[in-house]
Amino acid sequence: MDAILKHLLKKEILRQKTTINLIASENYASPDVLRFLGSPLTNKYSEGYPGKRYYPGNVYCDKIEKLAQERALKVFRLKAESWGVNVQPYSGSPANLAIYFALLNDRAANAGKGEPKTDILGFSLSSGGHLTHGHKVNFSGKIFRAVQYGVDPKSGLIDYKKLEALAKKHRPKIIVSGATAYPRKIDFRKIGVIAGSVGAYHLADISHIAGLTAAGLHPSPFPHCDVAMTTTHKTLRGPRAAIIFSKRRKMIHNSALMLPDAIDRAVFPGTQGGPHENAVAAMAQALEEASKPAFKNYQKQIVKNAAALAGALKKSGFNLVTGGTDNHLLLIDLKNLGMDGLSAERRLEEAGITANRNAIIGDASPFRPSGIRLGTPAVTTRGMKEKEMKKIAGWIYGILMKKGGSGAIKAEIQKMLKRFPLPY
Ligand code: DSN
């Protein structure tokens, strides 16, 4: 092993062990998931799909990939007769690229026949959406024609009325639901109805809430969408990869093509080459872990911890976007504290807590936004409960609101972390 890399890896593991991780999109994969990721499966090329590969020697990769597909359906209580599943996307952004490629190509075939000009109606980044939901600096806003909906500036809640008005005005080809920084439940049914009323596909990006959805703690998008995708490394606690689910229905503008076939073609050969079978196996392992009763309890605890953290922060005077949380994350609005998200992020990190700065509605700069996002999936994996969340809220108050250094808090954080070890 290269000595420099070995040293850096050791340091990173130590950093993970000695930090309270409140980054809402991060988690700790199990040692078994990590083992598959680092396995000789990484050596294999398996372009194509099980039973139809473009390389020999895929007898075991076929079995692994099928297992991942079966388990993905099982975890979300879906039937193979109704849903196609693709486990090959390298991560969330490539998955969304492939989905747009599949769905928009369908409509492109009808170009010049009075087709609408808008490709994507997505949730804006400053309201809590993802870059790939049509942001202007991302491929989704650069190569596709995107319009964005957002939250009501007063309540911080998704403005469904405006969403509907935008859908009627622009008649987009795809409406994207789902978020990376939205602390409340998303009404997938409402968005599905709006999409149906304007003849758009409904894509649900459940990357953040996949674990909660699997555990029945967030309303399921599946009855109301055509395509759903999720990354597998957030609340699902798997490898960095993604899954695309697509309804077994005909394409809107091409009755000869089924949606799952279009998605498969768009993933490979449309936008990707050989799948990373080491990641597919790691995903299958994570999905097996997610099918156990303990996983449901874990997800319940994530939600309870987020509520406890939010309650304690509010009590100490912090202003929370939407006033609280229904899920695994919350956003502190720092505007009234004379501090921006970047300074808060730095102060917290210096004391041993990681949480990322986040844009909130009305912010002009995503580099110096006025929010900070806190999530509980990682600390819950370490075994922390409501009592620890109250302690953490107190430390956050001490670090951000009190004058003077946070030396004493730093020591207390390290003392507590020793009671919640990581399995590596
Ligand atoms: N960057 C991720 C997040 O932090 O939510 C989403 O891809």
Q: Which domain holds residue 395?
A: 295-417
Q: Average model confidence (pLDDT) for the chain? A: 95
Do 237 and 286 share a structural domain?
yes
Does residue 102 sit in the same domain as residue 163? yes
Same domain for 327 and 259, yes or no, is no
Whether 364 has a pLDDT exceeding 90, the answer reads no
Domain final position from 232, 258, 290:
290
Q: CA dist 101 to 111, 286, 324, Å? A: 15, 28, 37
* pLDDT for the residue numbered 109: 53
Residue 11 in domain: no
Question: For ligand 1, is residue 130 a contact (CB within 6 Å)?
Answer: yes
Note the pLDDT tens digit of each residue in 229-244.
Answer: 999 999 999 999 999 9
Verify that 216 and 318 share a domain, yes or no.
no
User: Domain check: are 267 and 299 in the same one?
Assistant: no
> What was the pLDDT predicted at 116?
64
CATH number at residue 229: 3.40.640.10
pLDDT score recorded for residue 363: 87
**Residue 8 belongs to a domain:** no
| Ligand 1 near 234 CB (within 6 A) | no
Does ligand 1 lie within 6 Å of residue 218's CB atom? no
The answer to whether position 76 is within a domain reads yes
pLDDT at position 254: 85
d(CA 315, CA 8): 40
Least confident of 20-34, 102-116, 294-308, 381-395: 102-116
How many whole angstroms from 214 Cα to the centroid of ligand 1?
A: 19
Q: Is residue 66 situated within a structural domain?
A: yes
Active site residues: 45, 47, 205, 231, 234, 240
Whether residues 231 and 119 fall in one domain: yes
| Contact yes or no for 16/257 (Cβ under 8 A) | no
Least confident piece of the model among 152-166, 181-195, 297-311, 395-409: 395-409
Per-residue pLDDT of 40-53, as tens digits, reads: 999 999 999 999 99
- Please tell me the distance between residue 179's alpha carbon and the centre of ligand 1 in angstroms: 9
Does 113 lie in the same domain as 162? yes
Categorize the per-residue pLDDT at 402 as very low, low, confident or very high, splitting at 50, 70 and 90: confident
Ligand 1 atom nearest the C-alpha of 181 is 5
Cα atoms in the 13 Å half-sphere on the side-chain side of 90: 10
Residue 403, pLDDT score: 80
Q: What is the dihedral of CA 341, 343, 345, 348, to 10 degrees?
A: -140
Average of pLDDT values for 95-101?
97
Q: Distance from the CA of 236 to the center of ligand 1, in angstroms?
A: 14
Do 340 and 360 meet the contact criterion of CB atoms below 8 Å apart?
no
Q: Is 235 in the pocket of ligand 1 (CB under 6 A)?
A: no
Residues 317 and 193 in one domain: no
Task: Please report the pLDDT score of residue 108 as a whole number.
Answer: 57
Span 137-156, average pLDDT: 96
The answer to whether residue 145 is domain-embedded is yes
**Eight-state DSSP code of residue 222:** G
Instruction: Say how many Å lie between the CA of residue 234 and the centre of ligand 1.
Output: 9
| Residue indicated by tokens 């819950």 | 380
Give the domain CATH number at 359: 3.90.1150.10
Assigned domain for 156 exists? yes
> Distances from the Cα of 220 to the Cαs of 158, 356, 410, in angstroms?
17, 27, 40
| 213, 270: one domain | yes
Spell out the alpha helix ranges (H) of 216-340: 259-265, 277-290, 293-315
Q: Are residues 190 and 218 located together in one domain of the fold?
A: yes
152-180 per-position pLDDT tens digit? 999 999 999 999 999 999 999 999 999 99
Does residue 342 form part of some domain? yes
> Do 326 and 391 share a domain, yes or no?
yes
Region of 35 on the Ramachandran plot (φ > 0 left; ψ -120 to 50 alpha; else beta) = alpha
**Same domain assignment for residues 307 and 384:** yes
How many C-beta neighbours within 10 Å does residue 17 have? 15
Spatial separation of the C-alpha atoms in residues 260 and 131, rounded to whole Å: 24
Q: What does the pLDDT average to over 16-33?
A: 98
Tell me if 231 is assigned to some domain.
yes
Which residue, of 290, 316, 342, is where some domain finishes?
A: 290
Question: What percent of the chain has pLDDT above 70?
Answer: 97
Q: Is any ligand 1 atom within 6 A of the Cβ of residue 140?
A: no
Domain boundary among 268, 290, 312: 290
Q: How many domains would you assign to the chain?
A: 2
What are the beta bridge partners of residue 356? 373
Closest residue by CA, ligand 1 atom 4:
25
Q: Is the pLDDT of residue 110 over 60?
A: no
